[in-house]
Amino acid sequence: MKAIQGQGAQTNPHNRFFQHRYETEDDFLNYLVAEGEEEKVKVKTIPIHPKTIVNEVKSPDVGMSWSLNPYQGCEHGCVYCYARNSHEYWGYSAGVDFERTLLVKKEAPVLLDAMLRQKSWQGEPIVLSGNTDCYQPIERKFAITRQLIEVFAKHEHPMGIITKNALVQRDIDILAPMAKRGLVQVVLSVTTLDEDLRRKLEPRTASIHKRLETVHALSSAGIPVKVMMAPIIPGLNSHEIFQVLKAVKSAGAYDAGFTMVRLNGQIAEIFSEWLRSTYPDRAEKVLGQIKQLHGGKLNDSRFGTRMRGDGKIAEQLRDSFRLARQRVFGMPDKVQLDSSFYLARKQPQLKLF
Name the amino acid, one letter, at 150: E
Q: 293 and 234 in contact (C-beta within 8 Å)?
A: yes
- pLDDT score of 158: 98
- pLDDT score of 222: 98
Nearest to 163 by CA among 142, 191, 141: 191
- Tens-digit pLDDT string for the chain (353 aa): 455 555 555 565 555 544 444 444 444 334 333 444 444 568 999 999 999 999 999 877 777 899 999 999 999 999 999 999 999 999 999 999 999 999 999 999 999 999 999 999 999 999 998 899 999 999 999 999 999 999 999 999 999 999 999 999 999 999 999 999 999 999 999 999 999 999 999 999 999 999 999 999 999 999 999 999 999 999 999 999 999 999 999 999 999 999 999 998 899 999 999 999 999 999 999 999 999 999 899 887 777 777 788 999 999 999 999 999 999 999 899 999 999 999 999 876 434 44
φ, ψ dihedrals at 147, nearest 5°: -65, -40
- pLDDT score of 338: 98
Number of H helices, E strands in the chain: 13, 10
Is the alpha carbon torsion for 322, 327, 333, 334 positive or negative? negative
The structural domains of the chain, with segments of one domain joined by +, span 44-346
What one-character-per-residue DSSP string does 222-238 give?
T--EEEEEEEE-TTTTG
- pLDDT score of 11: 60
- pLDDT score of 246: 98
| Element of type H or E holding 346 | helix 340-346
- pLDDT score of 72: 96
CATH code for the part of the protein at 44-346: 3.80.30.30
Q: What share of the chain is helix, strand, coil (3-state, %, to 5)?
A: 40, 10, 45
Q: How far apart are CA 150 and CA 93, in angstroms?
A: 33
> Bridge partners of 162?
187
Q: How far apart are CA 150 and CA 173, in angstroms?
A: 11
